[in-house]
Structure 1
Amino acid sequence: MNRTSTSRWSSLGRRAAIGVLLSCAAASGAFAQAWPSKPIKLVVPYGAGSSPDVAARIIAEKVGARLGQPVVVENRAGAGGNNGTSAVAKAPGDGYTFLISTNGPLVYNTVLYENLPYDPFKELRPVVLAGGQANICAVRADSGINSLRDLVATMKREPGKFNYSSIGVGSLSQLGVELLKARTDTFAVHIPYASSPLAVLAVLQGDVQFTCVPAVAVVPQVKAGKLRPLAVSTGQRSSLTPDIPTMKEAGFPEVENVAWMAIMAPAATPTEVVQRMNQEINAALAMPDVKQKMNSQYMEPIGGSPEDLQRFMAKELKTMAPVIKRMGAKLK
């Protein structure tokens, strides 16, 4: 084939490629305009009554009304959130399946598990950071420990005598303490429990010496005079617990962390649909009654763009991966 023929076929190829791209773009735009034409599923990889489940139901009601189609919450609990998260990662990207998951399944478990059945950074795409809640580090009110500095000093003075409770291996309530231990060169034995109320009960019964778990489980016992709060895990004081100092105020600025919930979609979900869902969820999170309902569970709405969430997850991985590796724990 001569040069003229080759040039001609290249030109035709470019035109064909451009035509295909324009056709795909038109089809995608048409899909986005028609979406949603049926109910949307929002998968929660935890049981009913969990923080992600509560947040999902608050958000789903508002978003469904705005979209004109129901947003149906489906609980798919198991394996510390991995089962439901994996199911959405493997689901078709047709715009009708979304996920609300947390720190562990979306970031930490990529380091903690040897054989995680999905890759959240490749098989899921960010939609929006829906909300967060502070962990509160607390001791028994009669412990004689009055501050986080006191706790750290006592652990250094009496190495090997402290246990702490969490809501499970790989949870932020464990990793936040492990981060504190790493930054202060202290030691305490981790005792995992199935829920934050049980983790708090372990402190009250004297089975462990301290815990760092969600505020919703700690505050009632603080108000009852049974627990002493030492610090909230967030970088700023929470308006929900304004009298409790931050980690920075307590003297440990490098130990800030937050238990967060993010809404994700299968990786193949059209960008137009992700953007629309992001827009509607942000609008819902800005509603006063949504904020009030989330605040009643000591959760704070966050919001933002998909890109904000992507950057946030990358930062979380960078911060916590060394902590998880230092623990030496590996799950299958």
Structure 2
Amino acid sequence: MQRRDFIALAAAGIAAPWARAQTGWPAQQIRWVVPYPAGGGTDVLARAISEAMRPLLNQQPIVVDNRPGAATNIGAELVARAKPDGYTVMSADNAVLAFNEHLFSKLPFSPEKDFSYIGAFGRFPLALVVHPDFPAKTFKDFLAWARANPGKLNYASPGNGSPHHLAMELFKTRTGSFITHIPYRGAAPAMQDVMGGQVPCMFLDLPAGLPVIQSGKVRALAIGSARRVAQLPDLPTLAELGVKDSEVYAFQGLLGPAGLPADVVTQLNGAINQALRDPGVVKRMQDYGMEAQPGTPRQFLDMARAESRRWGQVIKAAGVKLD
């Protein structure tokens, strides 16, 4: 092929698959870091998506490596310092991408500069739930009760700086209510105490929340999404209920260390977008109430930085710090 012909084909996008194939990547297994313990929603989703991606990446094994701790900073630092060869990637969520740079006075990495943004997976909204015996049966009554009893209403969360915690802090700002935070060590014990009535309410993510909402173990009052979700069609959004600018999502995507070769990023991004159409992945995401977000690396980066700016304001206003 003449050089001028190759350039013309590349400009038209025709030569791209041929050019990528010449790199020989991947030629060995890929390590996929999950900064949470095994068995949680992030871990399960990573395993489902990585399995669907494997046939698209030369059938190379993709091995999930759980590295929990320090509010996801342990796993994130490991990936930020990894060799940028495409063989170490990670599942990243709100903590790595938007929260921690505002929650910690010092981080061992920069979310903007020390990672290659590969692609988003999707996002799932959080729902405001209460114990079934809580006296307020509707959102309107809940808000009236909270405003009439400042400081007397407690809410649970999986821990300081979690999406659930910050969702309620945003809610408090938007509604002028005073609700006291009770942090737990994980989502499961927080949810158990709300179901048991020890703490009356919390924002609950749909992967964990759908089964207990549908079974009546907690009562959902509102959903923090832009639109109602198919799994709970009768549950109104916060915006419908008059709480503006109150969307609260947990979102996830794939990162690698800064400096990943452009062709590797392109292959991984294409594999993610195709995996999001895999029937098994689609079902898993539907079960979790998760909205798929296929797109480009640039769209993922822009979304993450916008979320960081948004939540940085909430964190500063609430005075939340983790060190």
Is TM (by shorter chain) over 0.5? yes
From the superposition, tell whether residues 32 and 194 of structure 1 become closer, same or farther in structure 2 (CA, over 3 Å). farther
CA–CA distance in structure 1, aligned partners of residues 213 and 276 of structure 2: 29
**Equivalent-residue separation in structure 1 for 2:139 and 2:257 (angstroms):** 41
Gaps of 5+ in 1: 1-28
- Mapping 1:108-119, distance limit 5 Å: 108-119=99-110
In the alignment, structure 1 residue 128 sits paired with structure 2 residue 119 = yes
Instruction: Name the larger-Rg structure.
Output: 1
Q: What CA deviation, in whole Å up to 9, does each residue of 1:46-72 have, x standing for no partner?
A: 110111111110011111111121111
In the other structure, the counterpart of 2:248 is: 257
> Does the 8 Å contact 2:37/2:67 carry over to 1?
yes
Is 1:54 the equivalent of 2:44? yes
Residue 291 (structure 1) aligns with = 282
CA contact (8 A) 2:113 2:258 kept: yes
Deviations 1:65-102 (A, max 9, x none): 11121111111111121100111011111111111121
1:214 aligns with 2:205: yes
Aligned residues: 304
- Matched-pair contact (CA < 8 Å) for 1:159–1:187: yes
Equivalent residue, structure 1, for 2:181: 190
Instruction: Decide whether the 8 Å contact of 2:210 with 2:288 is kept in 1.
Output: no
What does residue 266 of structure 2 align with? 275
Between Structure 1 and Structure 2, the one with more helix by share is 1
Task: Please say if 1:317 is aligned against 2:305.
Answer: no
Tell me how far apart the structure 1 counterparts of residues 264 and 128 of structure 2 sit (CA, whole Å): 40
The unaligned stretches of length 5 or more in structure 2 are 1-18
Over the aligned positions, Cα root-mean-square deviation in angstroms equals 1.6
- Residues 208-238 of structure 1, C-alpha deviations (whole Å, 9 max, x = no match): 2211011233333333333210111111111
Name which of structure 1's ranges 143-152 and 121-130 shifts more when overlaid on structure 2.
Answer: 143-152
Describe the SS at the equivalent of 2:129.
strand
Does the aligned pair in 2 maintain the 1:141–1:225 contact within 8 Å?
Answer: yes
Letter in 1 for 2:151: G
Q: Which moved more, 1:245-254 or 1:275-284?
A: 245-254
Q: In 1, Cα distance between the equivalents of 2:151 and 2:76? A: 37
Quick one: distance in 1 between partners of 2:69 and 2:110?
17
Q: Percent identity?
A: 36
The residue aligned with 1:23 is none
SS class of match (2:310): helix
Q: CA deviation at 1:30?
A: 7.4
1:93 matched residue in structure 2: 84
Deviates more, 1:298-307 or 1:251-260: 298-307
Given candidates 23, 29, 35, the residue that maps to 1:39 is 29
* Aligned residues of 1:42 and 1:74 also touching (Cα < 8 A): yes
| TM, length-normalised to structure 2 | 0.90
